[in-house]
Amino acid sequence: MTTNKVVRLAQRPRGPVKPEDFDIRDEDLPEPGDGEIRVKSSYISLDPAMRGWMNEGKSYVPPVGIGEVMRGFAAGHVEASRHPDFKEGDTVTGLLGVQEYAVSDGKGVSRADTSLAPLQTWVGGLGMPGLTAYFGLLKVAEAREGDTVVVSAASGAVGQVVGQIGNIIGCRTVGIAGGPEKCDALKTEFGFDAAVDYKAGNLFSDLKAACPDGIDVDFENVGGDIFDAVLGQMNPFGRVAVCGLISMYNATELPPGPKNMRNILVMRLRVQGFIVFDFIKHYGEAMQALGGWYKDGKLKFKEDIREGGIETFPAVLSELYTGGNFGKLILKV
């Protein structure tokens, strides 16, 4: 009999995740009821936010409960349908959890058009990370032609799309990433105008050399010293879109705050956090643009697909917080 391999949250992690924070087990295959579908997932998206979803406390979504299936985006095939809008064989994506099979009432599940892009891309550049880049850059930071745009974690799922959209609309794009290999790829694969290796030890001066006219837009993915260095070089009326603070997600104690706060005042900066779900009503518009650019060859997506299956979830997830991934991190099921 077929079973369903499921990752459940066993305890709230302290610091980086450990295998014992999860209960990974075989369960009975779930049966869809009236109005439901069963999806067999092929690709599970590994996202930095997963670490935050495991924490107790007030946030933009409730925490995953102890014993619950770990929240996560996935893409797969409808294997059984008792839902009027889906049929067997449809390729779909949505918040289906970290498990091999998911039963869903179809809410938040959308079609993945595999004639446009391979299935895994629907949890990457044409999924939540691509939407995040689109809304963060264009609607939150209001980037426009001629702006110097800096993005951190630039070779990752969101960052690589931010840089490419910046290029499409005529910005000067500067990516910050860890190590020469990622920094080379920023320029040669994604078309960034300049790349700064924050691990090289001269972040502030290297950033200054890469941004001779200062910085108009910061697409902030990391926080900490990187955020501080960028904040210190912002131009008057610059915009900071705070998308993520990955350097802090595993912290057991909060690091000191940014030192360059004065620039928010004297440069009259607008600093705004955002969550991609805020823009849910506008996903259609964004998908049209992203899909169109992809089709025209103006956007490309680097994916880092791991083959180990569900059991490797804790180890593969950990790599996001140490820079072990190169591109959108995806677990093949």
Ligand X SMILES: NC(=O)c1ccc[n+]([C@@H]2O[C@H](COP(=O)([O-])OP(=O)(O)OC[C@H]3O[C@@H](n4cnc5c(N)ncnc54)[C@H](OP(=O)(O)O)[C@@H]3O)[C@@H](O)[C@H]2O)c1
* C-alpha–C-alpha distance, residues 157 and 159, integer Å: 6
Reported as half-sphere exposure (CB side, CA atoms, 13 A), residue 202 has a value of 7
Stretch near ligand X under the rule CB under 6 A, chosen from 29-37, 104-112, 187-195, 244-252: 244-252
Cα distances (Å, whole numbers) of residue 146 to 152, 172, 216, 226, 289:
19, 7, 9, 23, 20
Indicate which single residue of 103, 123, 196, 222 sits in contact with ligand X (rule: CB under 6 A): 222
Q: Does 321 bind ligand X (CB under 6 A)?
A: yes
Q: How many other C-beta atoms can be found within 10 angstroms of the C-beta atom of residue 322?
A: 10
Q: Does 124 bind ligand X (CB under 6 A)?
A: no
Indicate which single residue of 72, 127, 156, 258 sits in contact with ligand X (rule: CB under 6 A): 156
Torsions phi, psi for 37 (to 5 deg):
-125, 155
Q: Does 171 bind ligand X (CB under 6 A)?
A: no
Q: Does 48 bind ligand X (CB under 6 A)?
A: yes
Q: Does 158 bind ligand X (CB under 6 A)?
A: yes
* C-alpha–C-alpha distance, residues 152 and 240, integer Å: 12
Q: Does 153 bind ligand X (CB under 6 A)?
A: yes
Q: With contacts defined by CB under 6 A, how many residues of the chain interact with ligand X?
A: 30
* C-alpha–C-alpha distance, residues 14 and 251, integer Å: 8
Q: Does 241 bind ligand X (CB under 6 A)?
A: no
Stretch near ligand X under the rule CB under 6 A, chosen from 20-28, 63-71, 220-228, 256-264: 220-228
* C-alpha–C-alpha distance, residues 100 and 7, integer Å: 9
Which 3 state secondary structure label does DSSP give 70? Answer: coil
Sort strands 270-273 and 22-28 into parallel, antiparallel or unpaired. Answer: unpaired
Q: Does 275 bind ligand X (CB under 6 A)?
A: yes
Q: How many other C-beta atoms can be found within 10 angstroms of the C-beta atom of residue 242?
A: 18
Cα distances (Å, whole numbers) of residue 216 to 236, 242, 322:
8, 14, 28
Alpha helices in 10-156 (DSSP H): 49-53, 128-135
Stretch near ligand X under the rule CB under 6 A, chosen from 25-33, 82-90, 106-114, 273-281: 273-281
Q: Among 246, 244, 238, 239, which Cα is nearest to 274's?
A: 244
Q: Does 247 bind ligand X (CB under 6 A)?
A: yes
Indicate which single residue of 71, 83, 172, 182 sits in contact with ligand X (rule: CB under 6 A): 182
* C-alpha–C-alpha distance, residues 186 and 122, integer Å: 22
* C-alpha–C-alpha distance, residues 229 and 142, integer Å: 21
Q: Does 125 bind ligand X (CB under 6 A)?
A: no
Indicate which single residue of 94, 97, 159, 166 sits in contact with ligand X (rule: CB under 6 A): 159
Q: Does 155 bind ligand X (CB under 6 A)?
A: yes
Indicate which single residue of 7, 49, 117, 150 sits in contact with ligand X (rule: CB under 6 A): 49
Q: Does 244 bind ligand X (CB under 6 A)?
A: yes
Q: Does 177 bind ligand X (CB under 6 A)?
A: yes
Stretch near ligand X under the rule CB under 6 A, chosen from 99-107, 143-151, 176-184, 286-294: 176-184
Q: Which residues face 22 on adjacent strands? A: 9
Indicate which single residue of 27, 118, 271, 274 sits in contact with ligand X (rule: CB under 6 A): 274
Stretch near ligand X under the rule CB under 6 A, chosen from 21-29, 63-71, 259-267, 317-325: 317-325
Can you tell me which residue has the tokens 């259609």?
A: 284
Site string for ligand X, 72-91 (x = CB under 6 A): --------------------
**Residues in contact with ligand X by the rule CB under 6 A:** 47-49, 129, 132, 153, 155-159, 177-178, 182, 221-222, 226, 243-244, 246-247, 274-276, 320-321, 323, 325, 328-329
